[in-house]
Structure 1
Amino acid sequence: MRIAPHILHVAQPVEGGVARVVTDLVAAQLAVGLRVSVACPRGGTLTDDLRALGCAVVRWDATRAPGHRLPGEVRQLARVVRGVRPDLVHAHSAKAGLAARLAVRGSLPTVFQPHAWSFEAADGIVARLALGWERFGARWATRVLCVSEAERHTGVRSGIDAPWRVVRNGVDTVRFRPEGERARRGAGPLVVCVGRLCRQKGQDVLLAAWPEVARQVPGARLVLVGDGPDADGLRAGAPGSVEFAGAVADTARWYRAADVVVLPSRWEGMALAPLEAMACGRPVVVTDVDGAGESLPPGRPPNCLVPPEDPGALARALTALLLDEPLRAALGARARAHVLAGHDLRHTTDAVTDVYRELLGPATTRAVETNGGRECVTT
């Protein structure tokens, strides 16, 4: 029996969209017989979700941002790589991409997936340092895997010379579907925003826009689903028509309860929340950042795409949709069909496996008979 290749995913952060992508990829890769391990820090949801799949999790003590601990984090990850002995390393997001490329330095096929560029999240010298690293570190990436053409274009425009591949994000269209249990709605039109409560996701812009929406649409309510470092600041001074639901295990219930789903991000690669909402048959309002236009149905649906950091435009778009029920219904049906056609999770995971096949050969898709087709290293 031929042993299937061993993939080591390296992940930081361990919650939110990146954790969801890693979990979905691991589940699909185990299902086709690849051997899979994941190196990540403790905390968040990732470790428990991976162990529920039967996948090995190797502890890697890494903070979310670069700092004085980076050299030790790189050395620890290098030890992990030597112990796991993978055939390919797949690093997710800026911090893991930084540490993994320094630890491996081209000695193994290395896939780096930015999940939005780190230099877009910073200003001044920090942004310049982050961009300088991405330009330099590209030499140690066998593939840079972008989740949208816009993310790739941002990299090219910023002077990053890399072997690019674009695989657009996908979502589970069975889990995220129009039918199913709904969250408690209460009375009045409901707008839902699902995302980590942080500057990137732009909930502060949404709260600045909300008073005008509430004035124009009597009884309108806003629910922020998620937690994060900005939670306390966002709660302070939020009006009574705004509810903070915190982190929830089943976001699909909130999507299905919503009349409109909004994500006012300042930067993205391609956000998962709008795709999940559209899979649930809901109209979305998103800001025109990387991946947003590509995630929407063709033809730029009305009132669905607004400039970032523009509370007035955001308020006008939300108000227009809340006051037009037939338009919401039409957009919701169109959104579901669009996700089924272009953003089904199975297409995404198959495309990533195709990238591995290019780097490792056709054995990447040959099922392993041991353990019922699921072989995973224990550490």
Structure 2
Amino acid sequence: MQLSSTDHRLSVLHVAQPVDGGVARVVTDLVRSQLSAGMRVDVACPDGGCLPDAVRGLGSGTHRWAATRSPGPGLPGEVRRLARIVDALRPDIVHAHSAKAGLAARLALRGKVPTVFQPHAWSFEAVGGATARLALRWERFGARWATHVICVSEAERLTGQRSGVDARWSVIPNGVDVERFRPVAAQAARTALGLSGQAPVVVCVGRLCRQKGQDVLLRAWAAVTERMPLARLVLVGDGPDGAGLREQAPASVRFAGDVEDATPWYQAADLVVLPSRWEGMALVPLEAMACARPVLVTDVDGARESLPPELVPHGLVPAQDPQALARALVALLGDPSLRESLGRAAHRHVSNTHDVRHTADAVAAVYRELLGVGPIKCRESINP
């Protein structure tokens, strides 16, 4: 990624909360790309999670921003602390990731600095009742303080637009590092992870929380093992619902916990499943498809857009429907030749459509438009 000749070194401050999961991976990839472009890049985020160490290791400035994951009584202090960081750094652009960072950044800046807001799924979809109504009112109001809103799927943009969020939009699909996530023989991956080479293996990667729907998957899994008693399910990740999920899981379910790199688990899988209740565009299916593994996902925002046409009839089920999920799991696990064909199509699709370098170029184009600077073109791999 290369900046045109200019007297000014473009400076970006990324503000992130949460600091793990897909948001952390998106921010890390953007930071890597922008540093390679010669930008000055800083990240403000809470301690903990994988994000601070990851971006610090790339050479980004990191700034401790104490902030909880959800809004609460500490919000005014969080806004003041973020305003002080912005005043000290004086960035050209502030890029806020996810609902909480977007809330604090827009309140702190109120349009005084060009502000890009990237929801990574809308806050009002994550809650219900009065809390959802309050979140929606804020997103409608707060849009005035976002110079630009980046959605990761057209479905996410339409959800915001139909809900009355009036913004200047861009849709930039999520991308993954296709050199890091790549196909290898499943048998070798299974041996390294201590998995049986014979039993069908389904892998679900994600934070153990309501959004990701592992509770629905466990309800479906009982029906799967009635038909396929040798099948094994691996849940990769941890989170607030971990203890409850472990209590209800049968012996055929393995909890792998948090892992630094989920790539070996994708490569070991016959099938990767993500039964989310809501998303913007999930990274897990893209990472799995880059490893040439078929995926089964729920029909939430971004899901259809992330799949190749060949996979849609087989890889998409309604959200929160354990019976439909079980039927689709059994059908795919019972047809190895179909899985192999779908895996090849998935790999081609991600390589052509969801390479993270395309994502970095598109974000750079948004910055360029907002600031009126010269061309910014990605020319280097963003691998470390």
TM (norm. structure 1) is 0.95
After TM superposition, the structure 1 = structure 2 runs for residues 229-378 of structure 1, keeping only pairs within 5 Å, are 229-363=240-374, 365=376
Partner residue of 2:174 out of 169, 174, 178 = 169
Does the C-alpha gap of structure 1 residues 257 and 366 become closer, same or farther in structure 2, counting only changes over 3 Å? Answer: closer
Distance in 2, matches of 1:154 and 1:70, equals 26
Query: How far off is 1:319 after superposition?
Result: 0.4
Query: How far off is 1:122 after superposition?
Result: 0.6
Distance in 2, matches of 1:292 and 1:30, equals 30
Distance in 2, matches of 1:329 and 1:144, equals 38
Partner residue of 1:121 out of 108, 111, 126 = 126
Distance in 1, matches of 2:241 and 2:120, equals 21
Render the CA deviation track for 1:60-111: whole Å, top value 9, x for unaligned.
0000000100001001100010001100000000000000000010011100
Distance in 1, matches of 2:264 and 2:252, equals 20
Partner residue of 1:193 out of 204, 215, 222 = 204
Question: Are 2:63 and 1:58 equivalent residues in the alignment?
Answer: yes
- Contact 1:356 / 1:364 at 8 angstroms: preserved in 2? no
Distance in 1, matches of 2:50 and 2:261, equals 13
Query: How far off is 1:249 after superposition?
Result: 1.2
Distance in 2, matches of 1:184 and 1:337, equals 29
Distance in 2, matches of 1:259 and 1:237, equals 24
Partner residue of 1:210 out of 221, 224, 242 = 221
Distance in 1, matches of 2:248 and 2:27, equals 36
Q: Which residue of 2 aligns with 1:7?
A: 12
Structure 1 range deviating more: 180-189 or 84-93: 180-189
Secondary structure at the counterpart of residue 248 of structure 2: coil
Structure 1 range deviating more: 323-332 or 171-180: 171-180
Query: How far off is 1:364 after superposition?
Result: 6.9
Partner residue of 2:46 out of 28, 35, 41 = 41
Distance in 2, matches of 1:339 and 1:365, equals 23
Query: How far off is 1:179 after superposition?
Result: 2.2
- Contact 1:4 / 1:366 at 8 angstroms: preserved in 2? no
Query: How far off is 1:215 after superposition?
Result: 1.2
- AA at the equivalent of 1:122: V
Does the C-alpha gap of structure 1 residues 250 and 184 become closer, same or farther in structure 2, counting only changes over 3 Å? Answer: farther
After TM superposition, the structure 1 = structure 2 runs for residues 59-208 of structure 1, keeping only pairs within 5 Å, are 59-179=64-184, 182=189, 183-186=193-196, 187-208=198-219
Q: Determine which structure has greater relative contact order: mean sequence separation of CA pairs < 8 Å that are 6+ residues apart, divided by chain length.
A: 1
Specify every segment of 5 or more residues in structure 2 that has no aligned partner in the other structure, as ranges.
Answer: 1-5, 379-384
Q: Which residue of 1 aligns with 2:382?
A: none
CA RMSD of aligned residues (A): 1.3
| Aligned length in residues | 367
Question: Are 2:31 and 1:21 equivalent residues in the alignment?
Answer: no
- Contact 1:91 / 1:100 at 8 angstroms: preserved in 2? yes
Distance in 1, matches of 2:375 and 2:96, equals 18
Which structure 1 residue ranges, 4+ long, deviate > 4 Å from structure 2? none
